[in-house]
Structure 1
Amino acid sequence: MVRCFGDELRRRRKEKGFRLNEFSRSIGYSSGYVSKVERGVIPASRRFAEACALALESYEELVALIDEGTTTGKEISDMKASCGLPVPPSHFSGRSAQLDRLVTFLTDESSGPLCVLSGMPGSGKTALALQGAWKAAAHFSDGCLFFDAGHESSGGVEDILLSLLRLLDVPEKKIPPRSDAMASLWRSQIAGKRLLLVLDNVLSSADVVPLLSTEPGCKVIVTSRKRLSALDDAARLTIGVMKDAEADALFRTIGGEQAARAADHSVRAVVDHCGRLPLAVRIAAARLRNGPVLTVEELEARLSHEAHRLELLDDGDRSVTAALTVSCDALSTEQRRVLALLALYPGPGIDLHSVAALANVTLARAALLVDGLADVHLVSHESSHRITVHSLVRQFAGLVILPQISIAEQQAATRRLLDHGLRLAVAADKLLTPQRYRPPVVLDDFPVKALPFDNRIAGLSWLESEWRSLVALCHTAADIGLHSLCWQLAFALRDFFFLTKRWGPWIETHLRAVECARAGGTRAWLAISLHNLGVAHSDRGDLTVAVGYFKQSLALYQELDDDHGVVNALSSLAWTELYLGDYVKSMDGLRRALMYYRRLGNTRNAAITLRGIALLEAELELCPAAVRHAQQARAEFHALGLDLDAVMAVNCAAWAHFRSGDHDAARACYEEALALADGCASRYEKARSLTGLGNIQQAAGHRDRAAELWKRADALYGGLEPMMLGEARVRLAS
């Protein structure tokens, strides 16, 4: 008799031209359930029959089959269609791509039963889950339910199963005592239903698995501070901090009139202090709207004080500190120690080698501990060997967990970190410029350990990723009185900053180095640091400032009877005089320096000086001599394996050819330099070559070609200084 209704349903569905999936969507039941009814596997309820009859416009005929008792067996109890979802937080902002993915998952029966939303505390996981659930609620005709699995009153999955079975009107006496039996009963009761469960703050995968079913119309959304990696087949959304514009919009929406009319830069400063964490942004905005009369600028000023920031991000009902405390309470003792020590690291990110040094553990152990912290979203991976710590997590760790570690242990960890950073910086610098003159007092006799790089390119890549942290470590060393570590770090970073033209951090680190050298009474390092400050200012075109530093350095070297230092200072002054147009003084100084370097066998410095003489000769229009000396310098650089210096020499020869009017020879040299510059990662020298090639096209009357080459140069390195480069002067005059 069961087949009578099923057969009639299939016949009428096909007669109307409905495909199974299309028909099931129209009546709000899963295609699997409809198929089972049509095949007579399960009986149809009256409610199901009514939905089918309405869709097929055959109410009397199909419902009559039900009324006549043609279905056999006991009907499945229908859960009352209800939406028990909490009201989602107001002023939801951003997350459009993730919200679309969640809604698509909920409405696509082929996407599986489970989606896990995980992220750090306060990232807005629940808000996103509820937004998605409400948008898809109409798809779940048998109801949408919400459970806070992490609430202190929650009895875990057994409590949830018991609540669900009661909602299904299962008599108490028929609910088995065992959780696995309850789960089996739950799955049998939801056959053919369309039901959504939202499980908030789930602590363990074991609290989810018993609730899953194979019913295509039933879905489960889980939010958790953990990744819940054991849920192998789950769809996953990782919820991070908000994008800048999204965080700005959320703050303005919640913050009222003050926030709505505030300047963009003030709003951005506030949300940056909040780390673009939705919970923090909401609390800050609510404080602005509901608290004492404040402007956004005043709120930003208060939040700028790290020591009080977490206190401000607590409104009594919501608290960033409380949210983070819950996550930290679940950590092991060793994981808590590592998280606390990470607060000592001054940079924005840290590699695993540095974590190992900081915690005084092996690299393998550091990786495992970091993975544990990442699993609960207290740190995040930039790559397999590098992590970042959110600013609010770092502040929480420093204020709440770090005080539990003794001052002696904190100091030892900081010293290990500084020694490690300096050791790697020195090793990378030696790969970058192996022929560079280094004072013998540089402490590079560190224990031999495996390095994260073993060649120039790898060392350069490491410096590129770590220089910000090394700059921060330089400041740390200065702040805690480890003067020698400060000036040595500054010295080790100098050539990298020269290559990449990062004059700001170059000057910043050497100002601290000068401060530490003076505080430590170390005149030799004071002279070195002053000289490098001069080189930085000279390289970016601040020539009069550079001259002042060179003269201070020269006086110190003379007092110390340091002939090498004296000649370096005189040579640097001669380079500055070249750029200032005092060619007579410049030539005299460069020739004296060249003789001295040749006598000492300092081939690298001699070749650099020879390149300076070639540039000077080009300015004096002694072009054949300039080309000859530039080519000689290039050969010496090549023999030493100094690729960057060789590129600079080839560009110098190109400039000399251009000055002489031999544009074909200039083009050949610029093109050679352009190709060579790729090998030493110098965007600056590539931009110089392209500018020179553009000048040649301009001189030939090809303005469009020149403009295209100059555009490429600007994309690589905008703003070549005309005072420093002849190519830039020619372009400027065009």
Structure 2
Amino acid sequence: MARRGGSRVRTRPRSSGRTGSGRAAGVGADRAVTKPRAGVCRTVILGARRRWGRMTARATFGAELRRLRTSAGLSLTELAARVHYSKGYLSKVETGLAAPNSALARLCESEFGTPGALAALVPAETGKRRTRPDVRPSGLPPVTADFAGRDSETRAVREILESDGGVCVISGMGGAGKTALAVRCAYRLEASFADGSLFLDLRGTSGEPVTPAEAHDRLLRILEVPADRIPADPDDRAALFRTCLRGRSFLLVLDNAGSTGQVRPLLPAEPKCRVVITSRSRLPALDEAEHVSLGVLPSASAAALVAALTGAAPDAALRIADRCGRLPLAIRIAAARLRAHPAWDVAELERRLADETRRLGELDDGERSLAAAFRLSVRQLEQPEARLFGLLALHPGPDFDVTAAQALGSLDEVAAERLLDRLHQAYLLTQPELGRFGFHDLVRVFAASGVNGEDAFRRLADFSVATAERADRAMSGPRYRPEVTCPPGLPEVKFPDQESAIAWFRAEWPNLVALCRRAGESERCWQLAFFLRGFFYLTKLWDPWIATHRWARAAAEAVGNRWAAATTTANLGIAYVDRGDLDEASQCYRQALREYREIGDRHGEATALAHSAWAEHYRGNHEQALRDLRSAADFYDLTGNRRSGAITARGVALVLTALGRPAEAARLVEETLAVFEELGLELDVVMGLNCLGWARFRAGDQPGAESAYREAVTRAEACGSTHEAARGYLGLGNVAAAQGVSEEAAAQWERAEAAHPDLDPVTVGEAAARAEFR
């Protein structure tokens, strides 16, 4: 009972009241809530079954992941480092407490080499979508199952994408595996992006590259922007794209970009987004990006990929990898060719790839072609770049500089540098060091196919002969050289001193040797060999010296130049005697002497006679050697040839030392040193000093010998003669041994071995003396 305004009002207990036909609130309502209906019960049971099914699927995936991991000998920490998922997450996946995803499955399959083993076990996701799903939206293409190497590049990409800028350009030549690396890195990192990843092929090297406006249209549609809301104006599309990304976290993979202009409008302004770009161009103008340049695979990684795809043994895998240029695409095509031909074995594949002229044709599996990949790169070039690209393939050497490109392309320096830089940016040329360029082997084969450049090669040969002649003149000083004529307009390399000439020869001699061989039976062949001889004598590069002079002799005979044939033969003899092959040397000298006499060349005859005397001296025929050397010296005195006369006198001194007249020999050498110094013949000065040290040593003048040898070592190292430096060190060791200072002797002999090992005791007296002490 209650009062309202003084009146009594009776109230009924709420627990027993009814309102019409409805149930009153209270206890009855509680019963209605707790008593299950049949439909609700079925829903709860089905939900539980689904959850139990998902948990069972998770457990199955986790158990298989653990089995594969332990079989591979990996700890959770090691696997986490490889796939870039946390150790805690992987532990929960293995125990079934966390849901796996398809990206994790593909990465782990790739690490274990078990394609398909985990992807089929990923549980299906059902039920209400959570705000932060385990599986983010992914527009990435499938990851490559077999992936070798690229560890350092993978780390570099990850570091860039985790930095503040977050724009990474992966560039490389066609077939280097840029897309595979980008997609692999994207799979490993996409879990860090709340809104997933976007992938777009820009077709930058195809005939119809995607324009920025078309790219924005496709990306906006992927972002679920209705078609009628996508503006027609390109700038408005770009603005809408940036707006759609504001506040969101996406990883964008822009594949196969052709230029900076194609990708710059696609870069998001949102700092939480990151971008990976792949391109066959280096895209240097993309200032906001950091760059990862992709070269060929390391030998071991390339061989491992071959072995994984073909089952080849290690040696065969390494050879196949090398013949595929260590390019992932070429290796995959080769493996596909093997799979497509059941009758083939690895040896047959290797045999087919052995022929360089057929190799590009073999690297075509019907759907992929290495030549087609290169052709797409060339398609981006302007006409001047494409023309030079083909002409450069005519260069037979391992690399070349700007002046060689000028000669081949008939270009000035500025134009040549610009075109070379463009070809390098397009990954059609390599740059092994500053100022030098080269080809990947398979790119060279592609570039040379169908090129008819005889005029260009002739310009290169003319330029090389003219430059080698100038370099030899700067390096070797005054000596007789045949007159060569070259057309005007060739690039000119200047040599202000001996050091610059030697440096040029050191850089260019492999190219000059290749050019000499390629020149065939022509005047340029023997001329190149002639001008290389001085450098080869300095550096003791006997094998290329002998090879070039054999080709040169055949060329001189083919063109009917008897003087060139005789001179080349005599110079070939010098190489043989310098190497210690006295029989071959004597045969060359006899032939050269006969040819000089037939053509009436008295100077050549005297030179061949003097050279022949050296061989007789090394054989021990000292008296005959002395007669022949003095006969040649008389001719040089008569004709006023001071250089050749002094060189011959040095030979006389060596013979006199062998004949037991070292004091007389020492006085004679001292006279020759003055001539060499006056003429600026540094190498001859060094050889004279060593000869003087040898004569004094044999005369018992150890302090005098030591003085001569020390000066010889200093000047030999300055002029780049490791042979004469080693000879000087040997002499110093012999002097120390003669004085009973064994530790000093051993130290000097060790220096000699380091400078130029295994000096021949037949041709180097100091080496014979060391053997006596030992």
Q: TM-score, normalised by structure 2?
A: 0.78
In the aligned structure 1, how far is the partner of 2:229 from the partner of 2:491?
Answer: 66
Corresponding residue number in structure 1 for 2:305: 250
Whichever residue aligns with residue 574 of structure 1, its letter is: A
Q: Deviations over 1:233-264 (max 9, x none)?
A: 210111122233332332223221xx2x253x
In the aligned structure 1, how far is the partner of 2:241 from the partner of 2:484?
Answer: 71
**8 Å CA contact 2:203, 2:210 repeated in 1:** no
Q: How many residues align?
A: 644
Q: Deviations over 1:602-630 (max 9, x none)?
A: 11111111111222222233221222222
Whichever residue aligns with residue 278 of structure 2, its letter is: T
CA-CA distance at 1:292 after TM superposition: 4.7
| Structure 2 spans left out of the alignment, 5+ residues | 1-83, 87-130
Q: Deviations over 1:138-188 (max 9, x none)?
A: 322321222211176874333332333334343444433333223323333
Question: Which among 438, 454, 471 is matched to residue 388 of structure 1?
Answer: 438
Question: Which among 614, 628, 631 is matched to residue 592 of structure 1?
Answer: 631
Whichever residue aligns with residue 464 of structure 2, its letter is: G
In the aligned structure 2, how far is the partner of 1:594 from the partner of 1:716?
Answer: 33
Whichever residue aligns with residue 548 of structure 1, its letter is: Q
**8 Å CA contact 1:487, 1:529 repeated in 2:** yes
**8 Å CA contact 2:209, 2:258 repeated in 1:** no
Question: Which among 162, 187, 191 is matched to residue 134 of structure 1?
Answer: 187
Tell me: CA distance 1:232–1:534, structure 2 relative to 1, closer, same or farther (3 Å). Answer: same
Tell me: CA distance 1:454–1:248, structure 2 relative to 1, closer, same or farther (3 Å). Answer: farther
In the aligned structure 2, how far is the partner of 1:89 from the partner of 1:452?
Answer: 53
Corresponding residue number in structure 1 for 2:21: none
Whichever residue aligns with residue 193 of structure 2, its letter is: F
Whichever residue aligns with residue 426 of structure 2, its letter is: V
CA-CA distance at 1:446 after TM superposition: 6.0
**8 Å CA contact 2:310, 2:346 repeated in 1:** no
1:229 aligns with 2:229: no
CA-CA distance at 1:267 after TM superposition: 4.2
1:424 aligns with 2:477: no
1:613 aligns with 2:652: yes
Within a 5 Å distance, the mapping from 1:317-356 to structure 2 comes to 317-356=367-406
**8 Å CA contact 1:474, 1:489 repeated in 2:** yes
In the aligned structure 2, how far is the partner of 1:169 from the partner of 1:449?
Answer: 61
Within a 5 Å distance, the mapping from 1:289-688 to structure 2 comes to 290-294=340-344, 296-400=346-450, 402=451, 410-439=453-482, 441-443=483-485, 450-478=492-520, 481=521, 483-688=522-727
Tell me: CA distance 1:542–1:269, structure 2 relative to 1, closer, same or farther (3 Å). Answer: farther
In the aligned structure 1, how far is the partner of 2:409 from the partner of 2:248?
Answer: 53
Whichever residue aligns with residue 471 of structure 1, its letter is: V
In the aligned structure 1, how far is the partner of 2:691 from the partner of 2:339?
Answer: 62
Corresponding residue number in structure 1 for 2:200: 147
In the aligned structure 1, how far is the partner of 2:147 from the partner of 2:706?
Answer: 58
Corresponding residue number in structure 2 for 1:11: none
CA-CA distance at 1:452 after TM superposition: 4.7
Within a 5 Å distance, the mapping from 1:154-303 to structure 2 comes to 155-256=210-311, 259=312, 261-263=313-315, 266-288=316-338, 290-294=340-344, 296-303=346-353
CA-CA distance at 1:397 after TM superposition: 1.6
In the aligned structure 2, how far is the partner of 1:655 from the partner of 1:128?
Answer: 64
CA-CA distance at 1:700 after TM superposition: 4.8
CA-CA distance at 1:426 after TM superposition: 0.9
- In structure 2, the residue corresponding to 1:487 is in which secondary structure? helix
**8 Å CA contact 1:262, 1:296 repeated in 2:** no
Tell me: CA distance 1:542–1:230, structure 2 relative to 1, closer, same or farther (3 Å). Answer: same
Whichever residue aligns with residue 327 of structure 1, its letter is: S
**8 Å CA contact 1:422, 1:489 repeated in 2:** yes
Q: Deviations over 1:20-47 (max 9, x none)?
A: xxxxx999xxxxxxxxxxxxxxxxxxxx
CA-CA distance at 1:670 after TM superposition: 1.8
In the aligned structure 2, how far is the partner of 1:222 from the partner of 1:612?
Answer: 68
Whichever residue aligns with residue 279 of structure 1, its letter is: L
Whichever residue aligns with residue 206 of structure 1, its letter is: G
In the aligned structure 2, how far is the partner of 1:672 from the partner of 1:348?
Answer: 37
Tell which structure's C-alpha radius of gyration is larger.
Answer: 2
CA-CA distance at 1:268 after TM superposition: 4.0
Q: Which moves more between the two structures, 171-180 or 508-517?
A: 171-180
- In structure 2, the residue corresponding to 1:226 is in which secondary structure? coil
Corresponding residue number in structure 2 for 1:58: none
In the aligned structure 1, how far is the partner of 2:447 from the partner of 2:595?
Answer: 45
**8 Å CA contact 1:379, 1:390 repeated in 2:** yes
- In structure 1, the residue corresponding to 2:449 is in which secondary structure? helix
In the aligned structure 2, how far is the partner of 1:635 from the partner of 1:347?
Answer: 41
In the aligned structure 2, how far is the partner of 1:732 from the partner of 1:278?
Answer: 54
- In structure 2, the residue corresponding to 1:469 is in which secondary structure? helix
**How big is the alpha-carbon RMSD for the aligned residues of Structure 1 and Structure 2?**
2.7
In the aligned structure 2, how far is the partner of 1:525 from the partner of 1:532?
Answer: 10
Corresponding residue number in structure 1 for 2:751: 712
**8 Å CA contact 1:103, 1:135 repeated in 2:** no
Tell me: CA distance 1:371–1:632, structure 2 relative to 1, closer, same or farther (3 Å). Answer: same
Whichever residue aligns with residue 469 of structure 2, its letter is: V
- In structure 1, the residue corresponding to 2:447 is in which secondary structure? helix
In the aligned structure 1, how far is the partner of 2:746 from the partner of 2:181?
Answer: 49
| Structure 1 spans left out of the alignment, 5+ residues | 1-24, 28-75
Q: Deviations over 1:653-703 (max 9, x none)?
A: 122223233333222222211111132111221222223223344445555
CA-CA distance at 1:388 after TM superposition: 0.8
**8 Å CA contact 2:462, 2:486 repeated in 1:** no
In the aligned structure 2, how far is the partner of 1:315 from the partner of 1:281?
Answer: 11
Whichever residue aligns with residue 120 of structure 1, its letter is: M
- In structure 2, the residue corresponding to 1:208 is in which secondary structure? helix
**8 Å CA contact 1:79, 1:142 repeated in 2:** no
In the aligned structure 2, how far is the partner of 1:341 from the partner of 1:680?
Answer: 36
**8 Å CA contact 2:161, 2:167 repeated in 1:** no
Q: TM-score, normalised by structure 1?
A: 0.82
Corresponding residue number in structure 2 for 1:66: none
**8 Å CA contact 2:471, 2:505 repeated in 1:** yes
In the aligned structure 2, how far is the partner of 1:663 from the partner of 1:247?
Answer: 59
Tell me: CA distance 1:89–1:727, structure 2 relative to 1, closer, same or farther (3 Å). Answer: farther
Whichever residue aligns with residue 223 of structure 2, its letter is: L
In the aligned structure 2, how far is the partner of 1:119 from the partner of 1:148?
Answer: 16
In the aligned structure 2, how far is the partner of 1:84 from the partner of 1:640?
Answer: 76
Tell me: CA distance 1:704–1:444, structure 2 relative to 1, closer, same or farther (3 Å). Answer: farther
Tell me: CA distance 1:26–1:679, structure 2 relative to 1, closer, same or farther (3 Å). Answer: closer
In the aligned structure 2, how far is the partner of 1:296 from the partner of 1:717?
Answer: 43
Identity %: 41
In the aligned structure 2, how far is the partner of 1:26 from the partner of 1:337?
Answer: 49
Tell me: CA distance 1:336–1:684, structure 2 relative to 1, closer, same or farther (3 Å). Answer: same
